[in-house]
Amino acid sequence: MNPQQFRQALAKQQIMLSDQQMQQFALYYDLLVKGNEQLNLTSITEQGEVYLKHFYDSMTPAFSFPALKTDSLTLCDVGAGAGFPSLPLKIAFPNLKITIIDSLNKRIIFLEQLVAQLGLSDVTLVHDRAETFGAKTSLHREFYDVVTARAVARLSVLSELCLPLVKLNGTFIALKASQADDELAQAKVAIETLGANVSAVDQLVLPQSDEPRTIIVMNKVDQTPDKYPRRPGVPAKKPIG
């Protein structure tokens, strides 16, 4: 997917990118490749692959949750790595106020430089673990309108990392590949325990490659019990349920 095909594919989803936004994506690509020489940010570096499997893929939450396009929402991206999906969403939708948390400080330093060079505002970068960031004593607990996560952990674990950060009546969006049905079944108890329900499971395929993707949208309907999230490492070792 070259940059023009990227622009055209998004236009089919009623997402119109300006020339300036296209320039930001081009700079993002250049900085990603350059940063990848020092850091293990991604195994995908060829331009067409980055535009398809990182940039376009990061836009898919807006297909399922159109409020991202227009509303002034606080969005927390858990384990964003090289900034996916939150920074492509921020470039396309400047109305979003983004917070990114990542457990590796080297990635946060890269993202700080990236955000500055892209000229993005309302982006906060935090070096922390999700388990402590969303703890019952944290000011970030149940604070965000939307929480996103892409390729971080299986859904039963991911729910415990992310749902404590979602405000009541807010939304958690998980970006998954093709095995979402099994993950959803295994995560059912965790999702209910943490105060959410699944409102949408949208299946799609990436253009050109036809690779399957699943967008799982959850609504936060009850407050998360104080005991969650458990201390760092425990959710992955002993998932709820």
Flag whether the pTM goes above 0.75. Answer: yes
Burial of 66-100, coded b for 16+ CB within 10 Å and e otherwise, reads: eebbeeebbbbbbbbbbbbbbbbbbbbbeebbbbb
Does a structural domain hold residue 56? no
**84 marked as binding residue:** yes
| 170 in any annotated domain | yes
131 is in an annotated binding site: yes
- Residue 131 sits in a domain whose CATH number is 3.40.50.150
Residue 106 falls inside a structural domain: yes
Taking residues 184-202, report their average pLDDT.
96
Is the CB of residue 139 less than 8 Å from the CB of residue 115?
Answer: no
> In the chain, what's the furthest Cα-to-Cα distance?
48
The reply to whether 34 falls in a domain is no
Mean pLDDT of 96-105: 96
What's the rounded mean pLDDT across residues 139-159? 94
Number of Cα atoms under 13 Å in the Cβ half of residue 39: 17
Question: pLDDT tens digits, residue range 153-167?
Answer: 899 999 999 999 999
Q: Is residue 78 part of a domain?
A: yes
Of residues 81 and 206, more confidence is placed in 206
Residue identified by tokens 């060829």 is 46
Domain ranges, residue 139: 61-237
Residue 47: helix, strand or coil by DSSP? helix
Residue 77 contacts residue 98 (beta carbons within 8 Å): yes
Task: Reply yes or no on whether the pLDDT at 26 is more than 90.
Answer: yes
- State residue 153's pLDDT score: 87
Give mean pLDDT, residues 90-111: 96
161 falls within a domain: yes
Tell me the C-alpha distance between 196 and 75, whole Å. Answer: 17
Does the annotation flag 46 for ligand binding? no
> In total, how many domains does the chain have?
1
Tell me whether residue 9 is in a domain.
no
Instruction: For residue 158, tell me if it sits in a domain.
Output: yes
- pLDDT at res. 212: 93
pLDDT at 41: 86
